[in-house]
Structure 1
Amino acid sequence: YFYPDGKNPEDNSLYVSVFIALASEGTDVRALFELTLVDQSGKGRHKVHSHFDRALEAGPYTLKYRGSMWGYKRFYRRTSLETSDYLKDDCLIMNCTVGVVRNHIETPTQLSIFVPPPDLGQCLKELFTSGIGSDIDFEVGDETFKAHKQILAARSPVFSAQFFGLIGNPNVDKIVVEDVEPPIFKAMLLFIYSDELPDVHDLTGSVSMCTSTIMVQHLLAAADRYGLERLKLLCEAKLCEEVTADTVATTLALAEQHQCAQLKAVCLKFTAARENLGAVMQTEGFNYLEATGPSLLSDLLATVAVVNDDS
């Protein structure tokens, strides 16, 4: 606030006054101020009142509540101001810098203690890889995978029922798994232990996008079979990233079969796009859809109509 006639009546307008007021709803706000009356002649002879060079123990002023004020009743003699280089065309320029002192004192970084990120998933993954303490063998094709029934049951409702349910067998030590390829079953077990989507390129030894998509499609089916909802969503997200004209039809059929509504919507929109539709219709996957999925074709036609209306 600037008072050209002064804030104190007893000064008889001999001085101008400048005050800072607390505008927020805060209480007991400690602050430092710097007021600069700008020299408008270009000589750079500004008048500066600063508290930033004071020690924190003595420097900050405490503003108790909204509207609390601090400042100078006798900031500058009025007659001197009127004839000074601070005044130009009856205008003054005043800069105000405010620094609020935080009550919390941060610990210097060199005194802090680094806490590493959680590594439970990595530890359990190493437990699976080592096979230490395993109590169940899965025979999948020509391969055998060792695992721990309690970990599997904690992660999958299907395994929980199989081992510890009403008709489950907690003493079983070997299970033959059918209709799942060994790399797919291993990837599913790695997720159960680590809670991360495995790198399919490491598991297959291939860098082909098509191979990756096919494996993730099978992994999604396995996740649905064993009630692994998070893995199912991770596979959906991965398939959305890798959707192409060559794979979208098979992915669409997969999404319909396993009730993946979000993945289905992405596939329909991708296929219905004018720049994609012709290429998709030339694929074997689309021929399969024509033969086995009349309801999906109806959904596709409806999506095409919406896309055309929007364009």
Structure 2
Amino acid sequence: MSTSGLMSAMRAAGRQHITVSTLRTAPAAGSHVFRIEEFTRVREKTANGAAVLSSPFAVGGHDWRIRCFPNGRLKDSEGHISLHLQHDSHAKTGDVTATYKMSILDKSWEPSCTQIMENHRFETDDGYWGWRKFMKHTDLDRDKYLKDDCLSVLCDVTVDLGLRTTDEVAAAAEELNSEPAPSEPHHDLHLAEAADVMIHLGDGQRIGAHRWVLEARSLVFKSEIALAPTTDENIAELRVDGMDADVCKALLRFIYTDSPPAQLEAAPATTVEQLLMAADRYELKKLRAACEEALCKKIDVSSVATALALDERYCCPTLRKACMRFLSSPDNLEAVAASSDGLEQLKTLRPSVLLDLFDKNMPLREQQRMLRTIRLVWDQSDKGW
């Protein structure tokens, strides 16, 4: 039974204030990607036995590095890539046991050629351990693994922290007679612990992410991260204004999964509009198209003018076509113009947008109604049509 289920059962039995402590194993997991640009050139210039190292990354209170020998660690591994995990903080944090997995990422960012080391004990200051013959040079297919001649190595580390006890407190709902205190800005824990980018939103909330994922999916993120200040732990502090937490999480979920939110069509139009703006900002064409399609299905009298304004600003041809199809009915156009909000939105559009609605093939009476409504908007516009 889950903790919440246990608490519910206890409250049902008449116990209104309950505290629970849980003893559990407490592994800490994190991931790091080491990207070696111009790998062919690096391999040519690096002798057998010489290594290149990643930046340090933290998992479970310990610092780690990926150690790559482009031409093998020892003479017997020449002609191979050797990969090792190095415990980089032994002098400070002492011995540690870790399970780790290394993979070469292919051009679709999928792990390949994976090797796993179970429960290795790091006990020396310069301790590193791994695979001398991780991959033969002849197996390193340029078309499959070297995107722009860049080799990407993924390392997943799980550190054994032993047994930990956590305290959880629940109070009965009837005891909560006052408003809860405002929550502190928090790190969104659905992303992995080893996040090396911290996104700061305008409302004070923080969301962690991974530099390599953001940079791989969006050149805009790559540019912004390159200019962002970093902490002593090499975490990029990225400021993102004009975006709320739910939209930011949906944006990141798409970046990590390459799938638009499952409930996009059920979401409020304003939320989808904001997500479309975010997708446009970070040049995520697939997400932008999904938002546009979802908005097409939400067009009605109250939203069509806003949708057209969105097309004016962000050039959404599919959305524009759906709006024009909706407004081509004189009944719909009159209904939009009859509402104050709709009329104000229509007045902000270019004249050509409304003139495009006029169809000489429609019945004369409908032509007259359409022209009358367009003239109403025309006369009230302060843009000098």
Q: Tell me the TM-score normalised to structure 1 length.
A: 0.50
Distance (Å, rounded) in 1 between the aligned partners of 2:286 and 2:273? 15
2:363 is aligned with 1:305: no
Aligned match of 1:23: none
Q: Secondary structure at the match of 2:342?
A: helix
Q: Secondary structure at the match of 2:309?
A: helix
Q: Between Structure 1 and Structure 2, whose CA radius of gyration is higher?
A: 1
Letter of the structure 1 residue corresponding to residue 324 of structure 2: L
2:240 is aligned with 1:177: yes
Aligned match of 1:139: 200
Distance (Å, rounded) in 1 between the aligned partners of 2:292 and 2:245? 21
CA contact (8 A) 2:273 2:291 kept: yes
Name the CA shift for 1:284/1:234 in 2 (closer, same or farther; >3 Å).
Answer: farther
Deviations 1:132-155 (A, max 9, x none): 321111111132111001101111
2:294 is aligned with 1:233: no
Shift, 1:227, TM fit: 0.8
Distance (Å, rounded) in 2 between the aligned partners of 1:242 and 1:307? 28
Letter of the structure 1 residue corresponding to residue 330 of structure 2: R
Name the CA shift for 1:284/1:191 in 2 (closer, same or farther; >3 Å).
Answer: farther
Letter of the structure 2 residue corresponding to residue 215 of structure 1: T
CA contact (8 A) 2:250 2:261 kept: yes
Q: Which runs of 4+ in 1 moved over 4 A?
A: 167-172
- Structure with the bigger percentage of helix: 1
CA contact (8 A) 2:260 2:290 kept: yes
CA contact (8 A) 1:200 1:212 kept: no
The equivalences for 1:14-163 within 5 A come to 129-140=190-201, 141-163=203-225
Letter of the structure 2 residue corresponding to residue 183 of structure 1: D
Letter of the structure 2 residue corresponding to residue 137 of structure 1: M
Name the CA shift for 1:157/1:280 in 2 (closer, same or farther; >3 Å).
Answer: same
Q: Secondary structure at the match of 1:131?
A: coil
Aligned match of 1:247: 303
CA contact (8 A) 2:307 2:323 kept: yes
Shift, 1:180, TM fit: 1.1
Distance (Å, rounded) in 2 between the aligned partners of 1:247 and 1:261? 17
Shift, 1:275, TM fit: 3.6
Name the CA shift for 1:163/1:175 in 2 (closer, same or farther; >3 Å).
Answer: closer
Shift, 1:199, TM fit: 4.0
Shift, 1:243, TM fit: 1.3
2:327 is aligned with 1:271: yes
Aligned residues: 176
CA contact (8 A) 1:137 1:174 kept: yes
Letter of the structure 2 residue corresponding to residue 179 of structure 1: G
User: For structure 1, which segment, 174-183 or 275-284, has the greater mean C-alpha deviation from structure 2 after superposition?
Assistant: 275-284
Quote the sequence identity (%): 30
Aligned match of 1:190: 253
Q: Secondary structure at the match of 2:208?
A: strand
CA contact (8 A) 1:272 1:303 kept: yes
CA contact (8 A) 1:143 1:182 kept: yes
Give the superposed CA RMSD. Answer: 3.0
Q: Secondary structure at the match of 1:287?
A: helix
Shift, 1:303, TM fit: 1.9
Shift, 1:130, TM fit: 3.6
Distance (Å, rounded) in 1 between the aligned partners of 2:325 and 2:208? 42
CA contact (8 A) 1:187 1:198 kept: yes
Q: Secondary structure at the match of 1:303?
A: coil
| Greater RCO (Cα-Cα under 8 Å, separation 6 or more) | 2
Name the CA shift for 1:251/1:239 in 2 (closer, same or farther; >3 Å).
Answer: same
Q: Secondary structure at the match of 1:304?
A: coil
Distance (Å, rounded) in 2 between the aligned partners of 1:150 and 1:269? 42
Distance (Å, rounded) in 2 between the aligned partners of 1:256 and 1:289? 11
Distance (Å, rounded) in 1 between the aligned partners of 2:345 and 2:204? 33
Letter of the structure 2 residue corresponding to residue 132 of structure 1: E
Aligned match of 1:77: none
Q: Tell me the TM-score normalised to structure 2 length.
A: 0.41
Deviations 1:69-108 (A, max 9, x none): xxxxxxxxxxxxxxxxxxxxxxxxxxxxxxxxxxxxxxxx
